[in-house]
Amino acid sequence: MGGQEWIVAPPPVSERDQRAPRSEKPPEDLFSINGAFLGALQWIAKSDAARGSVFGSSSLGVTVTVRPSDATRIFLDLQGVIGQGPDQELGTLSRVNKRADDLQGKDKTLRLMKLIVRPSWLEERVLLSVGKLDVEDYFDRNAFAEDEETQFLNAALDTSPMLRPPPNGPGMALRVTVGDWRFGLGVHGLDDVDGDQSGLPFVIGEVGYRNIFALTGHYRLWARVASVLEDRDRVTWGAGVSFDQLLTSTLGIFFRAGVSRDQGESLTSHAWSVGFQLTPTWFDRGKDTLGIGYSAHREPGGRERVVETYYRFAMAEWLSLIANVQWVVSGPNTVTGGTNHNVVVPGLRAVLSF
């Protein structure tokens, strides 16, 4: 995920949501190249186990968009990531640096994240995306909590932990818009293009509605089923809701909740998160954003609660500086086998877009 265009202020969200999935904004030209550099610095300011540890990470993403016809788009997304985050010591369930988790345990990586062909019909009311996809670009989206570049850095606040999507890989996502209703269906492989595709594929459906109240809002309900990634002979299912709603022209709230269960488990996992995003116009900072979120979830590995707040300084159209603090109230440490209690993780991010 990442690289959103609308984040400067809430109103454009609805316009963007109607046009195309995240990272698939239709270009004005037949060919375009866009990119973003994210540099992040985090340190563990308070922890019984790892106080004072500092972690740096960075990523560079380049997106190429080709428009061979008015109704067809082709998207290529190449991403390089370097530097593991604090979870190499904290081992949180929620993951305190979502972008660093793209390394999948490596120190650095360069890979093709997406390669998508997207034809459309009926003035883009019907969109079909086929190729190497990211499930999170199409399902469980939320205007105020879905982008680790410019919003929350904690993965549990960007996507429901109960979605449990497979890695970017082969799949298709269909979206149909009828008035204020939106219907989505996705089928995705369980691994990368050259990986193991055995087992029941990841199948997900979503129903969404917008503008229930006078101000812009989006409401979504999703359900999915697939084989367990680590044990393809077992089946896992999950369901969840996600909504974002403007309360004023500058203040919006969000909420997510979900459940999941794997075949053979006695516990039904669950998670929920809530928070808001504010544009502080009274400081004459109409392009800045302030966000606060709380996440709680339970799964067989334990129970965890996390709070995160961030402030995004819009320095220029192409540059943002973001200060954030995460507070792991309590949860297991999957690295040491112990617990994380009142762990404080401040961070700084710089995002350069081109």
Reported as a pLDDT band with limits 50, 70 and 90, residue 50 is low
The CA R_g of the chain, rounded to the nearest whole Å, is: 19
Among 1-5, 67-71, 165-169, 212-216, name the one with the lowest average pLDDT: 1-5
Question: In terms of CATH, what superfamily is 6-353?
Answer: Carbohydrate-selective porin OprB (2.40.160.180)
pLDDT band at 16 (very low <50, low <70, confident <90, very high): very low
pLDDT of 17 strictly over 50: no
Checking if the pLDDT of 104 tops 80, the result is: no
**Position 153 confidence tier, pLDDT thresholds 50, 70, 90:** very high
Query: Distance between CA atoms of 110 and 313, rounded to whole angstroms?
Result: 29
Residue 153: name the closest of 105, 218, 85, 103 by CA. 85
- Rounded mean pLDDT of 289-306? 96
Least confident of 35-49, 141-155, 292-306: 35-49
pLDDT at site 313: 96
Q: How many CB atoms lie within 10 A of CB 116?
A: 23
Q: 291 or 83: which carries more pLDDT confidence?
A: 291
**What's the average model confidence in pLDDT over 133-157?**
96
- Judging by beta carbons within 10 Å of its beta carbon (0-12, 13-18, 19+), is residue 38 exposed, middle or buried? buried
| Residue 183 and residue 176 in contact, taking contact as beta carbons nearer than 8 Å | yes
Q: Report domain extents, the chain.
A: 6-353
Residue 2, pLDDT > 60, answer no
Say whether pLDDT at 41 is over 70: yes
Provide the pLDDT confidence category of residue 192 given band limits of 50, 70 and 90: very high
User: Exposed, middle or buried: residue 194 (CB in 10 Å: 0-12, 13-18, 19+)?
Assistant: exposed
Q: What average pLDDT score do residues 106-135 get?
A: 95
Mean pLDDT on 163-190: 97
**Pairwise CA distance, residues 301 & 295, whole Å:** 16
Lowest mean pLDDT among 18-27, 173-182, 184-193: 18-27
Q: Are 333 and 313 in contact (CB under 8 A)?
A: no
Q: What is the pLDDT of residue 10?
A: 37
pLDDT of residue 322: 98
Could you tell me the CA-to-CA distances from 10 to 13, 53, 65, 145, 289 in Å, in that order? 6, 35, 25, 12, 9
Q: Higher pLDDT residue, 251 or 46?
A: 251
pLDDT grade, residue 302 (50/70/90)? very high
Q: CB–CB of 351/149 below 8 Å? A: yes
Mean pLDDT of the region 43-65: 85
The whole-number pLDDT of residue 8 equals: 31
Q: Of all residues in the chain, what percent carry a pLDDT higher than 90?
A: 82
The residue written with tokens 């995920």 in the block is 1
